[in-house]
Amino acid sequence: MKNNAWTTRRMILLGLFIAVNMVATYIHIPIGPSMMHLGTTTLFITALILNPTDAAIAAGGGMFLFDIFAGYTTYAPFTLIIKGLMAYVVAKIVQSKDYKGINMKINFLGYVVGGMISLVGYYLTNVYFSGNFIAPIAKIPGSLLTTGIGLLIALPIGIQVKKAFMKVDKQAYHVK
């Protein structure tokens, strides 16, 4: 999308991607004191398709709703900020210059940077909740695994999904 006007199309895409990010986060496996989930996978794909602001709204909002509905309400505001920032930065990187989210090397870089934002953000959040710097270290493997799985799935599939969206956009707007 080229502008930030509140069009019907934009609102539908935001609603769709908020729902996809929320549902994908429900697909999770507990890993010790943490969990591995597919929300990061959909965050990465969302960042390929939507502009940075909308990617932040959709990914942060979807994972915020997961936290609310799944009983992690104390984490919800932190998730909104961390995952929103993560999606924004990933979208900025993968859509920089003429890459348009279809360059595997740039996407990889964006996903790694996004994973670092999530890792540091949740580490500091867990320091806040636990009151010390040691206990949150136990949650790092789950965060790394979630980012790693997200990267492995989104790297090949995300580009194909992005190309499909680009094709639909061209057809919808009769661009040749």
Q: Say what percent of the chain tops pLDDT 70.
A: 95
Residue 2 domain flag: no
- Structure-block tokens of residue 64: 């915020």
- Per-residue pLDDT band at 1 (split at 50, 70, 90): very low
Q: What average pLDDT does range 9-28 have in this prediction?
A: 96
Residue 119 domain flag: yes
Instruction: Share the mean pLDDT of the chain.
Output: 93
The helix or strand, by DSSP H or E, that contains position 36, with its residue range, turns out to be strand 34-37
pTM for this model (two decimals): 0.92
d(CA 51, CA 13): 11
Residue 45 domain flag: yes
Q: What average pLDDT does range 71-93 have in this prediction?
A: 98
| Parent domain of 12 | 8-165
- Structure-block tokens of residue 17: 């991607």
Radius of gyration of the chain (CA): 16
Residue 29 domain flag: yes
Q: What is the pLDDT of residues 125-173, one digit of tens each?
A: 999 999 999 999 999 998 999 999 999 999 999 999 999 999 988 776 6
Q: Concatenated DSSP letters for 82-107?
A: HHHHHHHHHHHHHTSTT-TT--HHHH
pLDDT at 2: 54
CB-based burial label for 151 (10 Å; 0-12, 13-18, 19+): buried
Residue 154 domain flag: yes
Residue 152 domain flag: yes
Residue 120 domain flag: yes
d(CA 166, CA 171): 9
Into how many domains does the chain fold? Answer: 1
For CA atoms 59, 141, 124, 94, give the dihedral sign: negative
**What CATH number corresponds to the domain at position 26?**
1.10.1760.20
- Per-residue pLDDT band at 83 (split at 50, 70, 90): very high
